[in-house]
Amino acid sequence: MQLQGVRAACGTIRRELPAAAVVAVLLVPQSLAYALLAGLPAQVGLYASVLPLLAYALFGASPLLGFGPAAVLALMIAQALAQLPPGVAPQAAALVLAAQVGLALLLAAWLRLHALAALLSAPVLQGFEIGAALSIALSQLPVLLGSPARGADLITVLQSAAATGWQIQPGTVLIGALAVLALLAARRWLRGLAAKLAPLVVLLGCTALLLTAGPGLGPVAQIGTLPPLSFSATLPLLDLQLWRALLPSALSIALVAFVSNLVVAQSLGRRAGLAVDPRAEMRGLGAANLAAAFSGGMPVAASFSRSVLLADAGVRSRWAGALVGLLIAAALLLLAEPLALLPKAALAATIIVAVLSGLKLAPLRQAWRYSRTEALLMLSVAAVALCRDVGEAIALGVIVSVALLLQRTARPHVALLGRVPGTEHYRHAERYAVELRDDVLGLRIDESLLFTNAGNLAEVVLAQLPLCPGARRVLLQMTPVNTIDLSGLQALQDLQQALAARGLGLDLAEVKGPVLDRLRASGWEQWFDGRLYLSIHQGMEGGPPDAG
């Protein structure tokens, strides 16, 4: 049995190694670039691409996720580090952020809070993606031009550029422009593996140009000499004030990381016919970030580009990610000197082209046609992410989404029902030519009865009484009602009393089984005086009530 296990492991390694090697080659320059984007030393990105991948392989679920530093997370880290108290090293704060993100995700997984992903509605998520993509590109523009200006949002970058006199370096501009043009050309004309390797080729070409031209190009910023690369364990600072200051940013990063992971896993899982376990994804992501905190890294998440590459290569095991981590560890030990020569402008070009190429405005156009309110929400989130802070953009989006939800559900919608001639079907009288009864007011409740809307139930129903002045009873079709909370139960009792005061009865039809079970468990027979019908047609015709 042990021999069979060894053979199986060797077979897995042999099958997954080619894809892992390609991803590792691409991940090295990406990791360097995203660490610089976050305002951290370049080697931090490499540290974050080793043990976190091994941790996810042990505790995660999806075989298709490529882990490591991610562009959006790097932007959020940069904005969090910009607010650090004096005297705190950014690299030490990044470890605290990674630890907080990991602990928050593991706690959420234990409490089964993976449904929190629903807080980021489609307009919020799409607006966030637009704003974050523009912010990332903007933050890298000074690096591309050789400007000393810095910042992770529009206002900060403009203020920094004005304070430094709008300086640029011609040699850096040349390197950056050539890298952008080469990357755009590769996206336009190359396909398959050649297109995926293009960023690496461009980085090598820019480095060769810089070495060949020498001082003739003028000053051009490079990665610079990396410190001795070793895999020693790190411990996040146990500073309560620092943990408290970084906690809001960490929670935002954790939410965005989990949502992006889930989106990538579900998208690729549908293609491969694989189910996604959100709780397991949350657990694996939490373990990966804790591993980053204790190995000198930064917060990590899945990358769509790396994940697609793994999927295209036919990967079917989480251990491909572990192999990627081991290969990057080898690169750390063997390629420190060549990595130091990479021009920062070329790395900035790879980020700018990648994020702007993935920028999609089609959702905004669709939202504008479908719902102007949600389109304005999307634009607002994008504007705040671009001009202020992505954490504030997420908070704004969640708050406004909840407010819109409460507004939509605050007044339960009811439809006046009539019978379609010659049938037993009942439809909304405003949309169909139907027959109305003189003695029964038939209404359909189109919302669950919850504390958000239950207080308006009696008012809404009573407002329909003038439509049927000869009615002796009101019949509510309850088909759309999926749940009734305690406030909804009280609202039904209040409605019955209000109708009784007018000499009218209240009957219900087509109450769903789980809803009826809860009503009966509450002892509603003690106060409900009406009848319960199996179908709306029976209720309208006054047939026998439902005995069940």
Residue 489 scores a pLDDT above 90: yes
Of residues 43 and 299, more confidence is placed in 299
- State the pTM of this model: 0.75
Q: 10 Å Cβ neighbour count for 439?
A: 11
Model confidence band, residue 359 (pLDDT cutoffs 50, 70, 90):
confident
For residue 545, the model assigns a pLDDT of 66
- How far apart, in whole angstroms, are the C-alpha atoms of residue 341 and residue 210? 9
What is the mean predicted confidence (pLDDT) over 491-505? 94
The pLDDT tens digits for 363-378 are 889 989 998 888 999 9
Lowest mean pLDDT among 23-32, 407-416, 481-490: 23-32
Model confidence band, residue 305 (pLDDT cutoffs 50, 70, 90):
low
What is the mean predicted confidence (pLDDT) over 410-427? 90
Of residues 407 and 56, more confidence is placed in 56
Residue 98 scores a pLDDT above 80: yes
Model confidence band, residue 175 (pLDDT cutoffs 50, 70, 90):
very high
Of residues 27 and 69, more confidence is placed in 69
The pLDDT tens digits for 323-336 are 888 888 887 777 77
Q: Yes or no: say if 426 and 420 are a contact pair by the CB < 8 Å rule.
A: yes
What is the mean predicted confidence (pLDDT) over 287-305? 89
Model confidence band, residue 90 (pLDDT cutoffs 50, 70, 90):
very high
For residue 10, the model assigns a pLDDT of 55
Q: Which of 437, 339, 268, 281 is nearest to 29 (CA)?
A: 339
To the nearest whole number, what is the mean pLDDT of the chain?
84
For residue 9, the model assigns a pLDDT of 46
Q: Which residues pair with 302 in a beta bridge?
A: 67
- How far apart, in whole angstroms, are the C-alpha atoms of residue 499 and residue 149? 70
Residue 12 scores a pLDDT above 60: no
Residue 7 scores a pLDDT above 60: no
Residue 25 scores a pLDDT above 70: no
- How far apart, in whole angstroms, are the C-alpha atoms of residue 273 and residue 356? 30
What is the mean predicted confidence (pLDDT) over 70-95? 88
Q: Where are the domains of the chain?
A: 14-404, 414-541
Residue 140 scores a pLDDT above 60: yes
Domain 414-541 has CATH 3.40.50.2000: no
For residue 339, the model assigns a pLDDT of 77
Q: What percent of the chain has pLDDT over 70?
A: 90
For residue 436, the model assigns a pLDDT of 92
User: CB burial class (10 A; 0-12, 13-18, 19+) of residue 6?
Assistant: exposed
Residue 271 scores a pLDDT above 80: no
User: CB burial class (10 A; 0-12, 13-18, 19+) of residue 84?
Assistant: middle
The pLDDT tens digits for 390-401 are 778 888 888 888
Range picked from 187-196, 313-322, 417-426 for highest mean pLDDT: 417-426
Residue 16 scores a pLDDT above 70: no
DSSP 463: T
What is the mean predicted confidence (pLDDT) over 84-104? 92
What is the mean predicted confidence (pLDDT) over 21-25? 70
For residue 512, the model assigns a pLDDT of 93
- How far apart, in whole angstroms, are the C-alpha atoms of residue 251 and residue 103? 10
For residue 316, the model assigns a pLDDT of 63
Q: What percent of the chain has pLDDT over 90?
A: 32
DSSP 449: B
For residue 542, the model assigns a pLDDT of 81
Tell me the backbone φ, ψ of residue 90, rounded to 5 degrees: -55, -40
For residue 475, the model assigns a pLDDT of 95
- How far apart, in whole angstroms, are the C-alpha atoms of residue 130 and residue 362? 11
